[in-house]
Amino acid sequence: MHTVFKRTLMDSYINRLQTNFNKFLKTKFYVNANQIQILTNPTDFYNHLKFKILHSKDRIFLSSLYLGKNETELVETISKALNSNPNLKVYLLFDGLRSTREKNFSSATLLSNLIAKHDHDRVFVSLYFNPSFNSSIWKDKLIPKRFNEIFGLQHMKFYGFDNDYVMLSGANLSDDYFKNRQDRYYCFQSTGLNNYYFRLHRLVSSLSYKLYPNKNSKTGFNLSWNSETVPEPIALNKRKFLKYSSKLLENFMNQEIKQQDDVKNKDTIVYPISSFVPLFHKYQDKSNEKISIMSIFNTIQKTDNLNWVFTTGYFNPIKSLQRILINSQVSNSHVITASKFANSFYQSRGISKDIPNAYLYLTYKFYKNVERNDKLDQIHIKEWQNGIIHQPNGWSYHAKGVWLLDQISKMPFLTVIGSSNYTNRSYSLDLETNLVLITTDTGLRERMNDEVQNILNYSEDIQLRKLKINNNVKILTSIFNRLL
């Protein structure tokens, strides 16, 4: 009877959350647990990508922050697939600033070579530039390329194949994400989800520049705005551009998806949630990620006997989320962030060398808030470390997400997977997309629990009581908090 009662509490939470979601989320998909695969490490991620690329017959669509400029093997795998399948088309979406950072040979150069080999009617490469960057007339003169990301980025990571398979992740397409950078990877065999993300890919691509090869250019490429309907987001056109992009995205997010197959026998629901703040007019944002994340934790306030795990490699959640985490009625919940030895900026050059300590300082401030609320026994703050990054066998940590667990089985029944770090930056500057997954299937919950345990296996309680942070780091962290 006790177990049944607790299960009823979990079901009650799910019902209340779905009721809340239905107020502002128009799109959801019903799937079965056997349609979902969870990968656990970078090598599996890379091998899975290459396998799906080689076996695609119709289309491949990849969205990421960037492609590493030395990822010739991945590009050659795409080229091989194009050679083997004459009907295959490839759609690639990356951030424009990150893809063109290097002066001579960049990832844009590598991609332009792929287009030249297979023609632009089979390979479509779109580079997104935040409209605030493009409309700034002084951007190139005053801001070094290494720091122009302050304007915002295309940060979505999803990878689709043919018309029935898509992977959501936080991982980009470069060497460390394929070898020694811990992330998360959820794969869905679902026509509905695949088509949803392909439409999102094409929509953001329509608001981006097109990449073309140019042998006469030092970089080997040109960028062109070749849309006759969308105004180019330069200084004089920014208002017109945002009017157009706002309308496109609002229509996309308000479109209710009618699932044709039988939903009664499905054990899992997934809700796409996204943040597109830079593409909406100011004060007219229709994004649904932030409100969804807050709804997940707000609903916990009315439910006992649930715990959560919250993780991000870059710990700086928005203040409202930090407050609701601390105020939640939990008994054994975890915050997991990267140790400074697992932060990819560890021992970097210039001002970025202070970034690991900046995130440590932000974690310390959260720790002190937990302590002031007498919650250190209920909310455990941990840091993830596997060796020391940039040294032999050292790993970095890039995973982000949320899991909700019931206290009886101690297994997750809900998770959030995707690109967001739940920061001010995520909700003001970057493009983000995630999925909320809710399941009642025991087997899938066990696999989700294995994922959590794999992360916890490399996590230890963070030692912050006697932490000393340089005053310069504190000042810089306060100044640049919105960008972290």
Active-site residues: which are they? 155, 157, 162
Domain CATH code at residue 271: 3.30.870.10
Q: What is the DSSP letter of 70?
A: T
Q: What is the DSSP letter of 288?
A: -
Does 223 lie in the same domain as 285? no
> DSSP assignment of 223-283, as one string?
EE---SSSPP-SGGGHHHHHHHHHHHHHHHHHPPP---S--TT--EEEEEEEE-GGGS-TT
Name the token pair of 357: 């300590």
Task: Decide: 78 and 185 in contact? Cβ < 8 Å.
Answer: no
Share of the chain above pLDDT 70, in %: 94
Task: Decide: 77 and 51 in contact? Cβ < 8 Å.
Answer: no
Given a cut of 80, whether residue 311 has pLDDT beyond it is yes
Name the token pair of 141: 């003169």
Does 218 lie in the same domain as 158? yes
Task: Decide: 87 and 60 in contact? Cβ < 8 Å.
Answer: no
Given a cut of 90, whether residue 313 has pLDDT beyond it is yes
Most confident among 113-127, 221-235, 462-476 (mean pLDDT): 113-127
In three-state form (DSSP H/G/I as H, E/B as E, the rest C), the secondary structure along 195-216 is: HHHHHHHHHHHHCCEEEEECCC
Given a cut of 90, whether residue 149 has pLDDT beyond it is no
pLDDT at res. 407 = 83
Q: Give the mean model confidence (pLDDT) for residues 162-190.
A: 98
Does 137 lie in the same domain as 23? no
Does 249 lie in the same domain as 285? no
pLDDT at res. 4 = 37
Q: Give the mean model confidence (pLDDT) for residues 218-225.
A: 91
User: Which of 266, 286, 304 finishes a domain?
Assistant: 266
Question: Which residue's structure tokens are 């101690």?
Answer: 410
Distances from the Cα of 357 to the Cα of 53, 316, 354, 376, 473, angstroms: 39, 12, 5, 22, 7
**Phi first, then psi: what are they for 222, rounded to 5°?**
-125, 155
User: Which of 266, 283, 309 finishes a domain?
Assistant: 266
Given a cut of 50, whether residue 2 has pLDDT beyond it is no
Q: Give the mean model confidence (pLDDT) for residues 423-438.
A: 97
Does 124 lie in the same domain as 206? yes
Round to whole Å and give the CA distance between 272 and 97: 26
pLDDT at res. 12 = 87
Does 222 lie in the same domain as 111? yes
Round to whole Å and give the CA distance between 325 and 294: 10
Does 467 lie in the same domain as 346? yes
Given a cut of 60, whether residue 137 has pLDDT beyond it is no
Pairing relation of β-strands 400-406 and 412-418? antiparallel
Does 65 lie in the same domain as 18? no
Domain count, the chain: 2
pLDDT at res. 51 = 98
Q: Give the mean model confidence (pLDDT) for residues 51-62.
A: 98
Does 119 lie in the same domain as 153? yes
User: Which of 266, 291, 321 finishes a domain?
Assistant: 266
Does 56 lie in the same domain as 27? no
Task: Decide: 437 and 361 in contact? Cβ < 8 Å.
Answer: no
Given a cut of 70, whether residue 260 has pLDDT beyond it is no
Question: Which residue's structure tokens are 């299960």?
Answer: 7
- Which pTM was predicted? 0.95
Share of the chain above pLDDT 90, in %: 75
Q: Give the mean model confidence (pLDDT) for residues 115-141.
A: 82
Q: What is the mean pLDDT of the chain?
A: 92
Q: Give the mean model confidence (pLDDT) for residues 231-244.
A: 85
Q: Within a 10 A sphere around the Cβ of 394, how many other Cβ atoms?
A: 15
Task: Decide: 7 and 162 in contact? Cβ < 8 Å.
Answer: no
pLDDT at res. 104 = 82
Round to whole Å and give the CA distance between 261 and 27: 15
Name the token pair of 370: 């937990």
Q: Give the mean model confidence (pLDDT) for residues 49-69.
A: 98
pLDDT at res. 470 = 86
Q: Domain of 368? A: 1-31+267-484
pLDDT at res. 141 = 57
Does 483 lie in the same domain as 354? yes
Which of 213, 203, 204 is closest to 65 using CA atoms?
A: 204
Round to whole Å and give the CA distance between 66 and 108: 9
Does 216 lie in the same domain as 358? no
